Chain A
Amino acid sequence: MTSRRRRLAAVGVPALAAGLLGLAGCGTAAAPEPAESLTVYAAASLVGPVSDLLAEYATDHSEVSVEPAVFDGSSTLVTQITESAAPDVIVTANETTMADLTAAGLVDQPHVVATNTLVIAVPEGNPAGIASLTDLADVDTVLCAPQVPCGDAGATLLQLNQVELDPLSLEQNVTAAAERVTSGAAEAALVYATDVAAREDQLDAIVPARAEEVVNRYPAATLTTASPAGAEFVELLGSARGTAVLADYGFGPP
């Protein structure tokens, strides 16, 4: 019996090793590395302006292979980078999430490129007649999770207004929260002014009291491993041209 087991091991181990080598082979074949490329990770609220500026950059720099940007909640992006994702540029929706990357020594000095404030998003025409944060207690409201920048800002704003809510759901990124209202799953959401501006044919914005006191500052940074294209793109974001495109989408100046 023991000799049979040993023979099984003798067959199984090399087979497994060959398989793992095959697996590694699949991986290297599937991910070719071009000479110079630019990969941008950006907060979900930046879909519009960052896509536009990336398209502009790609037109002006045909020698750089510009990868499609990844948009998600800032915390998700920061976790992915901490766990080994390596884009060239990261733009987050607040300075707290970026601080984790700075502390870990994964990014160079970040620059604030835009600002944003919160509004109450309601379906067009405001059918529930919402006028203040207090009114949100009477309708199905969606908030961002407190771990992501829009949720962090939302919690601060609710606290300033001494309002407590029992939200329908806590979303992982701000576009998800805005989409819940657009699709009719929720009657209101606390999102950025820019998210309503991007869906102006479907959503209306109610500016809550003291919203001007809770301003999110968006820092952009290159990773320490970034290609030179990364630094160029961060420069473009912070330039007059970048600020103008961001302003078109409703973002405030840095």
Chain B
Amino acid sequence: MSAPVNAVRPAREAGGRIPPLLLAPAVLAVALLTLPLLALLPRVDWAGAPQALTSPEALAAVSLSLRTGLVAVGCCLILGVPLALVLARAPSPVAAALRVLVTLPLVLPPLVGGLALLYLFGRQGWLGQATGAVGISVPFTTAAVVLAQTFVALPFLVISLEGALRTAGGRAATVAATLGASRWTVLRRITLPRAMPGLIAGTVLAFARAVGEFGATAMVAGNAPGRTQTIPMAIYTAFNGAGVSRDSALALAVLLVIVALVILIGLRDWRRREAW
């Protein structure tokens, strides 16, 4: 095999040259990703779906998921924007180490994250003992749901924003600084506006991930209706024979899929418009 002399080709020109043998597994892969989600649809009782979604238990789960998801995204912004700035501006060994830490919750099973949070904030945990001394207990409360959601959603915000920050500012920021603008002014007037597409994309992805969070929530927040039973917990409980009806659980499951799809499609179109 000799390498082509002109190795750099426009992607479109090479696009027609996929060996036909590879098309079959590619089609299978698409089927694997989409067929299971499509299989949910015929099981849903569409006529009864509005009623199933508005049962008191289902409404409690939806409302709790929305409220905790929004608070979690707020916490992600408060913690994640500074962290993304540090990542984008820190000397490379520091940034590399931080990037590994930030990516960790993405690749860990959420159950492990939940277990770790439980052992930090639990009765015997480092922080749990301290907060327990002043009468505050975090696990198995709504606050624990927010904690779990923030833990798993934060990397989505930080990684999206960091990418945008790396290219934001640049010479304009340098020029502004030499003209006497303070660091805050440069950040507020140049860097953050230019990184806005990344910030919005990260925020929306973090929200979607927070609302879908299950494993860490199950561990550290449990499954109390109205207090810690989010949409994913309600779906799981229904198939364990308690809580919302199966019809409600299926309707909620399809609702989550649709919300995720709308978010991803919306982001895609919007990124194209913003030429991101």
Contact of B78 among A18, A30, A69, A183 (CB under 8 A): A18
Are B140 and A80 in contact, with the CB atoms below 8 A?
yes
A83 touches B122 (CB 8 A): yes
Q: Mark B120-151, 1 if CB is under 8 A from A, else 0.
A: 01111000100010001111111100110010
Residues in B neighbouring A35, C-beta threshold 8 A: none
Question: Interface size of A by Cβ–Cβ distance < 8 Å?
Answer: 41
| Per-residue contact bits, chain A 13-30, to B (CB 8 Å; 1 contact, 0 not) | 001101110110011101
* B143 proximity list for chain A (CB < 8 A): 26-28, 30-31
* Known A22-B75, A44-B240, A173-B240; contact A30-B68, beta-carbon cutoff 8 A: yes
Is the CB of A12 closer than 8 A to any CB of chain B?
yes
Residue of A nearest to B246 (CB): A183
Asked whether B271 is an interface residue with its Cβ less than 8 Å from the other chain, the reply is no
Cβ of B241 under 8 Å from chain A = yes
Q: Does B189 interact with chain A (Cβ within 8 Å)?
A: no
CB pairs A–B below 8 angstroms (22 shown): A5-B94, A11-B86, A12-B86, A23-B75, A26-B146, A27-B138, A27-B147, A30-B141, A67-B224, A68-B225, A69-B225, A72-B223, A72-B242, A80-B139, A80-B222, A83-B140, A84-B121, A84-B123, A86-B140, A173-B240, A175-B241, A176-B241
Closest A residue to B70 by CB, please name it.
Answer: A26
Q: CB distance A19 to B75 under 8 Å?
A: yes
Taking a contact as CB atoms under 8 Å apart, the answer to whether B141 and A31 are in contact is yes
Contacts of B53-73 to chain A: CB distance below 8 A: 60, 67-68, 71
The docked-state distance in angstroms from the alpha carbon of A71 to that of B124 is 24
Residues on A with beta carbons closer than 8 Å to the beta carbon of B42? none
Taking a contact as CB atoms closer than 8 A, the residue among B60, B82, B89, B137 that contacts A84 in the complex is: B137
Contact code string A115-137 (vs B, CB < 8 Å = 1, else 0): 00000000000000000000000
Asked if A179 CB lies within 8 Å of chain B CBs, one says yes
Q: Whole-angstrom distance between the alpha carbons of A18 and B54 in the complex?
A: 38
- A82 beta carbon closer than 8 Å to chain B: yes
Which residues of A are at the interface with B, using a C-beta cutoff of 8 A? 1, 4-5, 8, 11-12, 15-16, 18-20, 22-23, 26-28, 30-31, 39, 44, 47, 67-72, 80, 82-86, 172-173, 175-176, 178-179, 182-183
Instruction: Tell me, yes or no, whether B105 is within 8 Å of chain A by CB.
Output: no
Residues of B at the A interface (CB closer than 8 Å) are: 60, 67-68, 71, 74-75, 78-79, 82-83, 85-86, 89-91, 94, 118, 121-124, 128, 132, 136-143, 146-147, 150, 222-227, 239-243
**Shortest beta-carbon contacts, A-B, top 6:** A27-B143, A175-B241, A68-B225, A85-B140, A15-B82, A19-B79
A contact residues around B123 at 8 Å (CB): 82-84
Task: Return the contact of B224 from the options A4, A8, A11, A39 (Cβ within 8 A).
Answer: A39
Q: Which residues of A contact B146 (CB under 8 A)?
A: 23, 26-27, 30
Chain A residues lying within 8 Å of B89, measured Cβ to Cβ, are 8
How far does the Cβ of B12 sit from chain A's closest Cβ, in whole Å?
Answer: 43
| A11–B91 CA distance with the chains assembled, in angstroms | 15
Which residues of chain A come closer than 8 Å to B225, judged between CB atoms? 68-70
Report the bound CA distance from A177 to B222 in whole Å: 20
Indicate if the CB atoms of B78 and A19 lie closer than 8 Å.
Answer: yes
B222 & A85 in contact (Cβ 8 Å cutoff): yes
What residues on A are CB-neighbors of B122 within 8 Å?
Answer: 83-84
Contact between chains at A22 and B140 (CB < 8 Å): no
A44 in complex: contacting residue of B68, B128, B241, CB < 8 Å: B241
Contact between B74 and A26, CB atoms less than 8 A apart: yes
Q: Which residue of A lies closest to B150 (CB)?
A: A23
Docked pose: A28 CA to B146 CA in angstroms? 11
Indicate if the CB atoms of A30 and B67 lie closer than 8 Å.
yes
Closest-CB distance, B79 to chain A (whole angstroms): 4
Q: Give the residue of B82, B138, B150, B227 whose beta carbon is less than 8 angstroms from that of A67.
A: B227
